[in-house]
Structure 1
Amino acid sequence: MVGKDVRATGVEVRPVAGHIGAEITGVDLTDDLDDAVIAAIRAALLRWKVVFFRGQRLDHAGHVALARRFGRPIAWPRRGSASPPDVPEIETTADRLELSGRYGMERAEWLHRRNDTLLHPWHSDWSNHLDPPAATMLRAETVPPYGGDTTWANLAAAYAGLSAPVRDFVDGLRAEHRLGVGYQPRPGHDAYVEHLLGHQTATAHPLVRVIPETGERVLFVNGFYVEQIIGLSRPESRAVLDMLLEQAVRPEYTVRFRWEPGSVAFWDNRATVHMAPRDAAHLDFPRTMHRVLIAGDVPTGVDGKPSEPLTGGPGGERP
């Protein structure tokens, strides 16, 4: 239900799935939004983990200005980025071209070598950092007429859905989040392995982190960055992580979004994992998206202890 304070702003929040996701209407994101509207959006984000807006007319400057109302946008590195040179906070991804030619590999080979399991593509952004982004704001410019959906999962609901003995077990564990996990090197020279060796970033994060604003515990798992739970053997880590990732992405904890030009998705990067489209690479349609990441803080576990750097530090290398 939408509270009276939300209705008074003209903002309407419509949940779209049982555990995660809500569509927000009554807001033109190009307006100079007052503090009450920003508070209503923030409350919906904390409750539903990802919120969606349709029919928006944001440009790059407006996108960054909107993100700034919720925190500090992160500037992207310039290395071969498709981002506009005058707006460093924007990352642009252009369908199949995004990974083509990267580190000397075409997209198909790149995906094959970095995706070692079916759960691997599920991730939160940059969790190898000591201070992963708090939130992500993604807007669609051009989308295919079909295919290209994004899916999110609610990590708070996933944690709550574990049995009490398993919750007690994972509350005290920490996991290593590391850039390049699961990557299968190419024979001979491999430019991506060189990149990993020169720009490695890894962090020991609590396997269960606490969201400061709500006190919620979330299952801080990430198929893209994690393969080792500290203190467990590699086979034990694999078994536990597979179990937890399967729990995190159970269909009842997920929402799938059909993009349209002008759609905006805004999600809590601390309390969700998401999976980019897996069904559009073979389609001859453009898909151009623009992303802004909002800076976060150092996660804290159930025991009150913060994450610790293993290699690198805050604001380290992106994938």
Structure 2
Amino acid sequence: MRSSGSGKSGGRGNYRGAGNNRDQKQGPGRPRKPRPEERRYDVGPGAGKDGPKSGRGKPKASSKASPKGGRGRTAPARSREYEARIEERNRERYAGKKQVKLPKTFPGAEQEGERLQKVLARAGYGSRRACEELIDQARVEVNGEIVLEQGRRVDPEKDEIKVDGLTVATQSYQFFALNKPAGVVSTMEDPEGRQCLGDYVTNRETRLFHVGRLDTETEGIILLTNHGELAHRLTHPRYGVRKTYLAHIVGPIPRDLGKRLKDGIQLEDGYARADHFRVVDQTGKNYLVEVTLHEGRKHIVRRMLAEAGFPVDKLVRTAFGPITLGDQKSGWLRRLTNTEVGMLMKEVDL
């Protein structure tokens, strides 16, 4: 029977026992690893001769994540003096170098004014991209010169800008057309408390005024704006802006009525002439006639037809220059389009 104390042929049950010779097999000169029961835990803060005050005595792992590939080691923090020396050295290094100038985002950026496409977009000609397409199509001109390049800078208050030959109202101007009902007074305020034009624009931020007048009992289109020069020219006889009316009269009417009106009707304040006359509709003795003239005297259409022997039962103004009433309902207010504003300005050389 083999002895259990044999080193080579013995079982492995006594490997961790006190009698084995593991420590001697490590060779001379090599430090002996302490056994678990011989290890000391009296390291770290709070440790004494008898071991740590609490816990197992192992140092806690740092809560900060270690960098990739590292083993939890962190670089030592730089002192403020060291950072100051680095900053001073960098200043000395770049002190003699020229300052780098950044390139402009587009040609002409150093000029004053606004970009043309931005001005057009604000005036209501669509998005900036759509306004850039107008420029690419050579439809925009500034001060009589067609603009072909993008990024052109303009002064909206000084430069004359046109799209398709029509002037652009680039400032904060407003233009409206109202289908005035019968019984509404053609004033912005009425001291007698009657319904007036101002009742239709009370919620506007800017003050508007009417272009010309209509009789209280006359219906139809009347313009409202805050563009003083345009309103003045539209009503001045020099520019001869035409107005068109539909009048209901009772006949029969002679064939030469139109010629008489075009030749001129003598009134108490001078002759009044129509530019155009035609019969639109007839039902028995009831006639609907159209009269166009460029004068703006008070009750001019009613007085002319009454002097010719045909008093007017109902009168509607259907057009003021190039602006027509169309299917706009009575009492409705609408904003003029950019094209309509341009046509009005072209009519009076603006």
Please identify the structure whose Cα radius of gyration is greater: 2
Task: Return the TM-score normalized by structure 1.
Answer: 0.28
The higher relative CO (CA closer than 8 Å, separation ≥ 6) is in 1
